[in-house]
Amino acid sequence: MNKLLLSTSLLLFSCLKEGVGPLMPAPQPELEKKAVVSLNTTYQTIHSFGASDCWTAKFIGTWADEVKKNQIADLLFSTDTTASGQPRGIGLSLWRMNIGAGSFEQGDASNITDEWRREESFLNAQGQYDWSKQAGSQWFLNAARQRNVPYTLGFSISAPVFMTVNGKAFSPGGGSLNIEPVRLDDYADFLAEVSSHFGFKYLSPINEPQWDWKAGTNGKASQEGTPAQNSDIINLTKALSRKLSAKNSKISVITGEAGQLNFLYERAASGRGNQLAQLFGSSGASLASLPNVAPVMSYHSYFTTCDDANLVNTRQMALQAAQSAGSPDLWQTEFGVLGDICGKYNGSPRNTGIDYGLYVAKVIHSDLTLTNVTSWQWWLAMSPYNYSDALVYINGPDGEYKNHDNARKSGLVLDSKQLWAFGNFARFVRPGMKRVGVQLENNTDPVAQAGSYMVSAYKDETTKKIVLVAVNMTDAAVSLPLSGVTLKNNQLAAYTTDRDRSLAKSTVAGDKIQMAPKSVTTLVGYYN
């Protein structure tokens, strides 16, 4: 053995004896991750962020305690801030009001088991309108307008009960619109009259048409609702177009409200799928060409968020389908935490913590950046239930949320991280802003981003305001050098929502995006 080989062998033996192990190449430094904004790369123009009053407003809006009602309204609608700059609310820019079907007046004969899920109707069987109905909903509608919410939308879940096939606000089965065929024009008249009376900007006449909304084996149903085939949607939309156009109305009809995203491009039972092609495509109805019909297709993001690959793929496919159908705008118009989601989140029991807020922020980010939605809307703005599908919760005066009878007249008002994480978008990404490009170098895969961290960016070309929303799903802090944009004073206002904070304001340097563990952070500044 020569001296060189002997020396090497002895060194290796010595290392092994001491537990050091053989010599390895020095580790290479990890590539620096950074965020690069491209102000000249623009995508969709943001229309709005919204939520609905459905059902619960009829009780909460008639509480005698004006202070508590205004507390809820401020949480939902206010764009005011405290002296320290802390937002008082999430500043919704669209408010959805349910146009009831009259199941509430039927009482137990409605066969809807829960009175919180019944609603009044402005019209009775004798053709008389009573504009004092839905007083609670009217209170919140007025509260939204007092706080300068720019858009209102009326939506219908069922035709008035005296127009339906079975005299109920839920379906007898069969998969078609629950209405007597001779009453379709009457239903359109009703929707147009209510929308005109309240000055809605938008009208959505169908909700989740893919679901059957029929009674169970006990003959009881859980809520108002009706299925609808695409042909039903086309016929009702055309009737509304004629009536609104004849009145020179400025109301626009929004079609779709698909029960889940993939129904926009995949087959569903009984002629209820492939909605983009059939309602907007060149070989379909081309509803966008009708007067008083907005070039918008709406959907709900339920059941397409598990796992992250499915979250990404369904949204990419929906965008492609929309482009093939003439590129109508896509609106996500209903979402909450519903059912079991990958064993990680569940609607039941109620959870108002940061993990659920982060999940909501991830879905919003994905809908905005992958499907290019121009409007994103939540389901129940307020709820007394032990369920995670609301923004604001109402507990009974005794602190027991199961006591719905107490909550009918008063209650304890509770916020949630779902509310504030939604506010990280809604409060700062305002109508008319454009989404702009932002690349996360060395983290470009949207599936990987959904499991780690993600950033979207928006600009106001008039004021030169830029807004970035960063979502950190991980337990570790993340720091990303920020480039591609020159900021005035090299400063950003930061609004952080995490376990302990809700849109808490601070001022940070403009050269980095700093994300606390498990947080949603909105950065606001002005560019040169």
Could you tell me the pLDDT band of residue 406, with boundaries at 50, 70 and 90? confident
Say whether pLDDT at 28 is over 80: no
Given phi > 0 = left and psi -120 to 50 = alpha, else beta, which region is 317?
A: alpha
For residue 9, what pLDDT is reported? 47
Q: Which of 442, 438, 481 is nearest to 457 (CA)?
A: 438
CA–CA gap between residue 296 and residue 276 (Å, rounded)? 10
Backbone angles phi and psi of 34, in degrees to 5: -150, 160
Residue found by looking up tokens 């016929």 in the block: 235
pLDDT tens, position by position, 423-481: 999 999 999 999 999 999 988 999 999 999 999 999 999 999 999 999 999 999 999 99
Asked whether the bond before 232 is cis by omega within 30 degrees of 0, the reply is no
pLDDT tens-digit series, residues 148-164: 999 999 999 999 999 99
Per-residue pLDDT tens over the stretch 29-38: 444 689 999 9
How far from each other are the two terminal CA atoms of the chain, in whole angstroms?
Answer: 72
**pLDDT score of 398:** 67
Summarised one tens digit per residue, pLDDT across range 276-311 is 999 999 888 889 999 999 999 999 999 999 999 999
* Segment 200-241, tens digit of pLDDT: 999 999 999 999 999 999 999 999 999 999 999 999 999 999
Q: Find the length of the chain.
A: 528
What pLDDT, in 10s, does the model give residues 332-390? 999 999 999 999 999 999 999 999 999 999 999 999 999 999 999 999 999 999 999 99
Tokens at residue 329, please?
A: 């705008």
Whole-number pLDDT of residue 29:
43
pLDDT > 70? residue 517 = yes
SS3 308: helix
Tokens 């598990």 sit at which residue? 306
Looking at residue 256, its pLDDT comes to: 95
pLDDT for res 283:
81
Measure the CA–CA gap between 450 and 315, rounded to whole angstroms: 13
169-189 pLDDT, tens digit each: 999 999 999 999 999 999 999
pLDDT tens-digit map of 235-280: 999 999 999 999 999 999 999 999 999 999 998 878 999 999 999 9
* Token pair listed for 69: 């009602």
Please compute the mean of the pLDDT values over residues 106-125 and round it to a whole number.
Answer: 97
Residue % of the chain over a pLDDT of 90: 88
pLDDT attached to residue 26: 52
pLDDT at 11 over 80: no
- Report the predicted TM-score, pTM, of the whole model to 2 decimal places: 0.93
Q: How far is 157 from 120, CA to CA, in rounded Å?
A: 12
Could you tell me the pLDDT band of residue 16, with boundaries at 50, 70 and 90? very low
Cβ–Cβ under 8 Å, residues 38 and 456? no
Query: For residue 75, what is the enclosing H or E element?
Result: helix 66-77
Per-residue model confidence (pLDDT) at position 1: 47
- Residue-range domains of the chain with CATH: 34-42+435-526 (2.60.40.1180), 53-428 (3.20.20.80)
Q: What does DSSP assign to residue 232?
A: H
The average pLDDT across 492-516 equals: 97
